[in-house]
Structures are given as C-alpha cells and as structure tokens.
Amino acid sequence: MIAIIKFPGTTCEFDVFKALSEAKIPATVVKYKEFDPDKFKGVILPGGFSFGDYLRAGSIAANTETIKDIKRMANEGKPVIGICNGFQILVESGLLKGALLPNLKLRFISKWVYLKVVRTDTVLTKGLEKNKILKMPIAHAEGRYYVDDIEYAKNNMVMQYTDNLGNVTEDANPNGSLFNIASIANEEGNVIGMMPHPERASFKLTSPDGSTDGLLLLKGLAKWV
C-alpha cells in the first residue's frame, strides 16, 4: 500500500489516488498527523500549497514529524515520491539536495511540456527507454531547480525539459532550472522529486492528445505494493 500524504493546503491528493487506481496500484490518502510509516511500503507527497506556501513553498511541511518518519522510510530504501509541492517539500527537508527557486520570469506557469527521461535506474523510470520523450503538464510558481554541486545535478537528474524532439534548449526551459532539470533523484533512485504532474497525464479524456505518459511513471510503483 502506498500512502498519499495530505497536509493542510495539499490539493492533488485525489488526482494522485485516481491515477494510481488507473495504474492498479493500491493506495490511500492519509492526513499528515495520522500517518503511520509501518503500514506503508512507499509514500507520495502530492502537489498543492501545503501550509499556504508560507515562508517558502514546502518549508513548513518540511519541519513536521511526518517528514522525519518519511526520512526513515527513505533510508530503508522505500520509494518516496514528491510531485510539484511534494518536490518542494523534499528539497526543503533535505531529502533531496538543492532548492526550488521562484521561476525566472516570476510567473505561475501552467502548461504541457515535453520531458526527456535521462536516468532509468530509479523506482519510477526503471524499464523505460533512455531518452524517451514524455508529455506532462506543469503548474507552479517556484520550480527553478538549483544546486551548487554540478556533478550531483548531472549524475542524478531524472528528467529534463526539452522540445518535442528531445533537444534540451533554453526555449524549452519553462522556469530557468539548472540543466533544464524537471526531476531529480537521490543516488539510490528511491527518493524522486518532479515538478510535472504525472497524475494529470494519466487519463485519455483529460490530456490534449489522448496520451497517458504519467501512467508510465506511476506504474513503476507496482513492484512496491
């Protein structure tokens, strides 16, 4: 069973739940104070605006006891996935290295983007072809990934923003992220953060061209339930 954690202000928990159901992954939504780490084999921190994005997106959730429990799970090798605000919580808590700064153009950006899978040894991308192009939506104001360790960034990035042919260009970089990074993981590949929303790219009816690339990622959790 996968836990989908709800903080006050989290908004994407039921979308993630529905997408996991579509991927046939058993999951349940858990309020952050009621989370019992022993009952779950993995965790998803969904998107939204936890604690109103006060101070910085994700910074208050990062200080909760729930995150301490999740750190222990991560150290045991269990999958810990952060989507959008969940990714912001992962970097604020130090579960992933780096920071998510306000977008370079300072706007909230909501649009579909192309992504290239560059790492295929993570929980979510194992089995996918290297350099495969995926299409998913982003929706965030603070998504400019930055880290002061260039080698770490190069070796651990999982997905990059690209054009439709998979070229990593400045034009395809929506927020000014270092190396067009849309997703990064720890070295072990069990803690993964991503700004794109796979749960919003999991249903034919609600994607612009009927593609369901988000499911390709979420199905990676099947081995863990």
Partner 1 sequence: MIYNVELIIINKDIVRDPEGETLQKYVIEKFARDVLETRVGKYIQFKVEASNEDSARKLVEKIAVEGKLYNPIVHKIIVRVNKQ
Which sequence positions are flagged as catalytic? Answer: 84, 197, 199
Is the Cβ–Cβ distance between 153 and 181 less than 8 Å? yes
Binding status of residue 29 toward partner 1 by CB under 8 A: no
Which of 105, 130 has the CB closer to partner 1?
105
Radius of gyration of the chain (CA): 16
Which residue carries 């979308």 as its tokens?
15
Part in contact with partner 1 (CB under 8 A); list of ranges 41-49, 101-109, 116-124, 125-133: 101-109
Number of residues lying near partner 1 (CB under 8 A): 22
C-alpha to C-alpha distance for 1 and 195, rounded to whole angstroms: 24
Binding status of residue 91 toward partner 1 by CB under 8 A: yes
Binding status of residue 9 toward partner 1 by CB under 8 A: no
Part in contact with partner 1 (CB under 8 A); list of ranges 11-19, 55-63, 120-128, 202-210: 55-63
Dihedral of CA atoms 186, 157, 144, 29 in degrees, nearest 10, equals -50
Strands (E), 38-153: 42-45, 80-83, 99-101, 109-117, 133-140, 144-146
Binding status of residue 63 toward partner 1 by CB under 8 A: yes
Residue 26: name the closest of 38, 17, 34, 35 by CA: 17
Sign of CA dihedral 191, 87, 59, 51: negative
Binding status of residue 181 toward partner 1 by CB under 8 A: no
Which of 124, 157 has the CB closer to partner 1?
157
Which of 140, 219 has the CB closer to partner 1?
140
Binding status of residue 203 toward partner 1 by CB under 8 A: no
Binding residues for partner 1, rule: CB under 8 A, are 55-56, 59, 62-63, 91-94, 97-99, 101-106, 146-148, 176
